[in-house]
Every structure is written in C-alpha cells, then in structure tokens.
Amino acid sequence: MTARVHDRIRAVLWHQNRVRLLDQRRLPDTIDYLDLARCDEVAQAITDMVVRGAPAIGIAAAYGVVLAARTCAASDWRRAIEPDMERLAAARPTAVNLHWAIARMRAVIDRLNRDAARADSTMPDPAMSDLGHELLAEARRIHEEDIAANYRMGELGAALLDGNSVLTHCNTGSLATGGYGTALGVIRNGFHAGRIAKVYADETRPWLQGARLTAWELVQDGIPVTLLCDAAAASLLRQGDVGWVIVGADRVAANGDVANKIGTYNLAINARHHGVKFMVVAPTSTIDLATASGDDIDIEYRDAGEMLSSRALSEHGVAVWNPVFDITPAELIDALVTERGVLHRPDRAKLAALLRLRQKNGAITAPL
C-alpha cells in the first residue's frame, strides 16, 4: 500500500534475544534505545513510561513474558513465571491491552502445561524447549497483528474524512503501537490520500506527548503539523476549520465509554458544542466487555512531581490532582474505528455485535 511510505518508526523491537525500547522520555532531543534482558526491567520501563500507549505496552509486556520464561528455573518454571506476569500486569492499570496481551501469553503456557500433563513428563530447560519458542512466536504474532490492524484502521478512518483539517491529542502513532498508529494511522493515511488539509496537535500536558512525540513523528514522516496549547483547542474549533477530532483509546467499556489521555473529554465536549465530529480509533483488543461503563475503569494517578515543575510551588505545599486519563461518554463519540469495521455512535449492542463478527477473505461481512 502506497500510504505506508509514512511509516518509518518502531518503538518496540525484539532484537538479539532482548526487548529493545525507544526511550520516549528523551524524545525529541535524544534518540536512545534501551536493550532489556529481564522481565522486571520491562515492567519498570512500562511504569516509567519508557514505552507508553496501550498497544505498545501490550506488545512490550508480551516480549517481557518471553524474557521471564528464558530466565526462570527449569525445574519449576510453571510457578516461577507467574509473579513476573503479575508484575507486568500491574505496571499500568488502565490500558486493557496490557492485560489482554498477558492473557494471550498465559494461554500459551496453559496449553503447554496441558500437553506436558498428557505426556506425563516434565518440560526441559525453558530456554531450549517449546516454551520459549512458542511464547516468542505468540509475542511476534501480537506485534504483527497490531501493525496489520493499524493499517486497516488507517484505511477505514481516512475514508470518513472530509478534506478539512483535523485535531489530535496525545500520541497515537508508531510510538504508541506496534507501528503506523491508531488515530495517527488514520491521519497518515488521510494525509497521503489528500483527505486532510492540515494537522493540529495538542501539547497534551503534563507529559507533553503531543509536543514531544506526535509532532516529532509527523515531522519524521514529512507530514506538516501545527502545535497548540491544550487550552487553545476550543478557540481553534470555534474557527470552523477543523472537521474531525481524532484520538486513540486505552480502554473502551462495554457501553462505548472511552478511557483516554486526560483532556480527551474536554475535546469531546468542545467538538460537540462546535459541530465538529469526534473519532476514536482503537483495535478490538482495547474493547473490554467485562467493564460495564467508564465509571468502572480504574484511572491511574501519577506522581505530583510531574506537575510541580516549579520549586516554589512544591515548597509551599501545593496539593496536586494528576489523573493520567479521563472518560469520554459514548454519546459524545461520532465514530469508533476498529480493524473489524466502523461503529457510528457506538453503544453496548453495537460493540457486542462487533466482537462477534468474523472476517471473511480479509473483509468485514456486516456493516454496523
């Protein structure tokens, strides 16, 4: 596909039997890769936001399970690997892809356990056994499936665009996924197809993922971008130049409510007020039918030091409220774009039906 020319960046790699992560804390000033050989290092990197973005976190965690299997004791690997997986799962609580990826890796372990029990034998050294090979193969599948899903979502989402400018929030590109991106994948495809006049990006405080990461990604791929303060978004939308706000998601509840980077809810309200359409782009692995609504999503809170950049403020004992995510109600979402199809005005019934769909010959068989 010609649109894939705008696709040069990979934030998570399996390289020489290690997990290689592009350290996103140091971008855009320094491009630095960390090579991690232990599962606990991967878990800490997820917590410290070396890697961030729900799909990328899940992929990194899957590779982390591979490292856990390669370093645990051969004589008791079934029990030894579980604490490592639990530590990975606890690294970031809100992103459902993390738990989804670990569940897929655990399913591989359970299958090998059943096979070993039927054979009435013990597994050999995990580093030389089916365990290591099977887990690595599954981690690679998770990674490759994410990139393929992003290409598909890029096509589906770009088809909805109307030739006007778009506004995005946080970072939803190659840095946040296996590659290409969710919301930024739609923007990449739309720009290449001439369906976007201009790209605006919020700074996204307090970590400035929009300013440091999204702007950097788009410049790397030759896509012009205009940066604005989060608080300027309403004024931009009021001018009437923006046709769509396009964001990603860390979790989609069963009723269509979306957890995403703090500030997303503000944008959704402002978009509705100004008659601008609001698009969420997320793979089906982000949909959590076990979570009834956004009220049931565990919102992560981070250290006050991320906001207290001024020494004077910290010395005077200023309190801090620092949620990483907020909840955007389903009624504010015009389109939810997934790799299986587009849901217009998503709700509980449409999401449940979407996850029952099966692909036939690479195409969606039933529109929703």
Q: What residues form DSSP beta bridges with 278? A: 245
Tokens in use for 186?
């739609």
Strand, helix or coil for residue 198 = coil
Q: Largest Cα–Cα distance of the chain, in whole Å?
A: 71
Please give the Cα distance from 42 to 61 (Å, whole number): 7
Neighbouring residues of 299: CB distance < 8 A, sequence distance ≥ 6: 94, 259, 323, 324, 325, 326, 327
For the record, the structure tokens of 258 come out as 């979306």
Identify whether the C-beta of residue 103 lies closer than 8 Å to the C-beta of residue 89. Answer: no
DSSP 242-272: EEEEEE--SEEETTS-EEEETTHHHHHHHHH
What residue type is assigned to position 243 of the chain?
A: G
Q: What are phi and psi of 199, to 5 degrees?
A: -115, 125
Angle between helical axes of 54-71 and 77-89 (0-180°, round to 10) = 160
CA 272-276-282 angle, 5° bins: 90
Residue 250 a catalytic site member: yes
Q: 63 phi and psi, to 5 degrees?
A: -65, -35
Q: CA-to-CA distance for 142 and 56, rounded, in angstroms?
A: 10
User: Helix, strand, or coil here: 287?
Assistant: strand
Give CA–CA dist 64/318, Å, rounded: 38
Catalytic residue (one of 230, 250, 257, 334): 250
Catalytic residues: 250
